[in-house]
Amino acid sequence: MPQWDFKINGYVVAQFPNAPLLVALAAAIVGLFFDEGTTADDAARSVFYVGLTIWAYEEATRGVNGFRKALGIAGLLFVVVRVAQAFG
């Protein structure tokens, strides 16, 4: 896998996406090709949320710095809010 980091003052703020984030991004793109509410759209959305949750959890627990950990926590909050809205 390619290795690159974008750093600001020594803090890694971006790097090549890991597998869960790549899966989430791919699912988001696939979901764009289907009408909202279809089975295929629901499946793509589910895969997106699972991938994003795994990525966010990994960042929140194993992030290389405070910024990356905060990014993971924000990702987890995003998923919780969106899922709550879907069932609310």
User: d(Cα 33, Cα 6) in Å, to the nearest integer?
Assistant: 31
For the chain, what are the domain ranges?
A: 17-87
Instruction: Give rounded-to-5 percent helix, strand, coil for the chain.
Output: 65, 10, 25
User: d(Cα 60, Cα 66) in Å, to the nearest integer?
Assistant: 9
pTM value is 0.86
1 or 61: which leads in pLDDT: 61
Residue 78: pLDDT over 70: yes
Decide: helix, strand or coil at residue 15: strand
User: d(Cα 75, Cα 41) in Å, to the nearest integer?
Assistant: 21
